[in-house]
Amino acid sequence: MRAVRAIAFVSATFVLAGCGITPGCRALSTGALGAGTGAAIAAIAGGPIGLGAAIGGATGAIGGAATSPRSAFLGHSPICL
């Protein structure tokens, strides 16, 4: 079950990394999304919520910064306009 959650999280991070135009904005928006998702998964799994948020935020930020806006553009980020 944990492997399924981890795969779903990583997949969602790369799919949703399309929010924003600049790498910094993309890293910020997907980092926030990853932190929320990581905290939610940790809460459901009964693990440390802060650690889940930190890992999710770092994974989201790295995925957002590494993804090109040309490969996946889902519109402007609501975080950085």
CB–CB of 26/73 below 8 Å?
A: no
Q: What is the pLDDT of residue 36?
A: 86
Record the pTM.
0.66
Q: What is the pLDDT of residue 28?
A: 83
Q: What is the pLDDT of residue 65?
A: 83
Cα end-to-end span (Å), the chain: 37
Residues of the chain below pLDDT 70: 9-20, 69-81
Q: Where are the domains of the chain?
A: 2-66
